[in-house]
Structure 1
Amino acid sequence: MCLPSMFCSAKRLGQARSSRPQRPGRNDPMRWLDGGQSAVMQALDHGPAYLPEGLFAGLPERVLAGMKVHANTISHARLVALEDTFPRTRDMLGHESFNALSRRFIVQPGRTAAALGQIGAGFDAFLSDAGESAGVADMARFEWCWLTSYHAADAVPLKLEQLAGLAPEALLDCVVQRHPAACAGRFAPLVQRVIGAEVPGVADADAILIARPDADVLVSPASVLMADVLAAAENPVTIGNLLRQSRECPDDAAAQADAMMQSLAAIITAGALIAA
């Protein structure tokens, strides 16, 4: 099931291209632009002392005043980006608390230079370190996983039909890998309840699967074994090796292999694997 409009605001976030820092050059406007932007962002991150002399014309006082205006504009854009990225987390914390935490977060080392599309990376860990509950921090983790899935590279998902009719040996030799937009994991009970109110089955599931096989990000209930299978397919792996991994500590090898195949079929159906 595709999550409804609760996350539509995240779709407005674009992915900014990162620029390779270069020294400004008078005879190369684009090179100056890259180098100048890097210098400005470094000054915003570490203070006006890091602004190269002569980068801007005019009196130092006027340059500093302009930098303050620019810093305020960037700060506002980053705060808005965090609000758009973490709407459910913001609802849990309340606007004032979320805003105060966001202002502390965006002045962390390296945050100023982060592209808007990456501004929320690490926000869940920051909330945890700030003393917020595990449920709130995990909601931020879930929302970041959702956005990461939305912005991930496109890839053609593996279909069960592609495996139908294969001989057992050929099936075991098939190489699969995690879809770039897929992730699965366990989340705090609070996250399960909130998302479960909109996605049937998630509230009582052991894990959550997030995938984007086509245009929409899909959220669905998952088992711990499904999450383990997806994690085991982080790099290209044959289906046979996946099955062998599941038998390392078996109480009932046949039953575990059957459960493994069911989990594999479920994540393929969800569009979470690709043929490698």
Structure 2
Amino acid sequence: MQGLADRLQGFAAALLDPSLGVPPGLVGPDGEPSPKRFAVYRNNVVVGLTEVLKANFPAVCRIVGEEFFDAMARILVASEPPTSPILLEYGAGFADFIAGFEPAASLPYLPDIARIERAWMEAYHARDTPPLEAAALAAIPDRHVPSLKFSVHPSLRLVRSPFPALTIWRMNVGDGVPGPVDLAAGGDDILVVRPAAEVELRAMPPGGYEFVMALEQGQSLTEAMKTALTADPRFDLSGNIRDLVAAGTFVDCHLDQEPERMTE
């Protein structure tokens, strides 16, 4: 006789694989197995997860159309079922799935659109935290500034694409109007953050992506500047700091030798 864990595992597997049939011991009101009833339940589960993906990736759906999206989502659901009861977490690997989905190969930018949408959702549901104010940063003595380290906002996400993905995404959400895009025009580095009620997406300037990544990894302002300049000699430190603080990218700044964080 199967244990409960094995029965549950078999039930979950049968939900996503029609070839497995009705799990043993699962019967209808008449005490007999009911393939039709189980098929209805199976279809409801797949449709429900497909709708979750459709709600979380509206631009991807708009670009490929509902029929294509539904077919793609059903394959993902069958191959990568949820691992958490929190449906907001479902679809974390959707971008990577799209990248390996051969029928979508003619849309090479599509995985990055999915990454933007995933980043947007994660930022939207991130913990609320007051951002660092420009006045607090301006009050720090000049001699300390080169050694400053920054803590990034919990909603911060970065997306890098070799395509103009931010432009394409904006064309396909809300009131956006799709239009011609030159895929060879260059890529986008995208900052996603929600310092207040609304998620903001911004195109990052040259070296900005490397700069924020370096700060997020614990480098000092001077170290992060060198990292950014190595990536792109056009990097503008003062302009980047100004824009990043205005966007609410950081929650505080501090010196290693001073435990008290400089947010007052």
When normalised by structure 1's length, the TM-score is: 0.69
Q: 1:50 deviation in Å?
A: 11
From the superposition, tell whether residues 215 and 56 of structure 1 become closer, same or farther in structure 2 (CA, over 3 Å): farther
**2:210 is matched with which residue?**
228
**1:103 is matched with which residue?**
74
**1:75 is matched with which residue?**
46
- The structure that is helix-richer by fraction is 1
Distance in 2 (CA, whole Å) between partners of 1:232 and 1:50 is: 53
**1:145 and 1:183 in contact (8 A); partners too:** yes
**1:41 and 1:113 in contact (8 A); partners too:** no
The partner residue of 1:273 within 247, 250, 259 is 250
Distance in 2 (CA, whole Å) between partners of 1:204 and 1:248 is: 19
**1:216 is matched with which residue?**
198
**1:61 is matched with which residue?**
33
Distance in 2 (CA, whole Å) between partners of 1:100 and 1:122 is: 17
Distance in 2 (CA, whole Å) between partners of 1:159 and 1:153 is: 18
When normalised by structure 2's length, the TM-score is: 0.71
Distance in 2 (CA, whole Å) between partners of 1:134 and 1:249 is: 25
| Percent identity over paired residues | 21
Alignment of 1:144 with 2:118, yes or no, is: yes
- Counterpart amino acid of residue 212 in structure 1: R
From the superposition, tell whether residues 265 and 71 of structure 1 become closer, same or farther in structure 2 (CA, over 3 Å): same
Alignment of 1:207 with 2:179, yes or no, is: no
**1:36 and 1:55 in contact (8 A); partners too:** no
From the superposition, tell whether residues 116 and 171 of structure 1 become closer, same or farther in structure 2 (CA, over 3 Å): same
* Aligned ranges 1:1-276 → 2 under 5 Å: 40-41=11-12, 44=15, 59=31, 61-62=33-34, 67-108=38-79, 110-114=80-84, 115-131=86-102, 132=104, 133-195=107-169, 206-246=188-228, 259-275=236-252
Distance in 1 (CA, whole Å) between partners of 2:58 and 2:224 is: 37
Q: 1:213 deviation in Å?
A: 0.4
Partner deviation per Cα, 1:138-171 (whole Å, 9 max, x = no partner): 2122111111211222222122211113212222
> Which stretch shows the higher mean deviation, 115-124 or 81-90?
115-124
Q: 1:249 deviation in Å?
A: 8.1
- Structure 2 unaligned spans of 5+: 177-184, 254-264
What SS does structure 2 have at the residue aligned with 1:145? Answer: helix
Distance in 2 (CA, whole Å) between partners of 1:174 and 1:214 is: 24
- Counterpart amino acid of residue 261 in structure 1: S
**2:109 and 2:165 in contact (8 A); partners too:** yes
Q: How many residues in Structure 1 have an aligned counterpart in Structure 2?
A: 233
Q: 1:236 deviation in Å?
A: 3.6
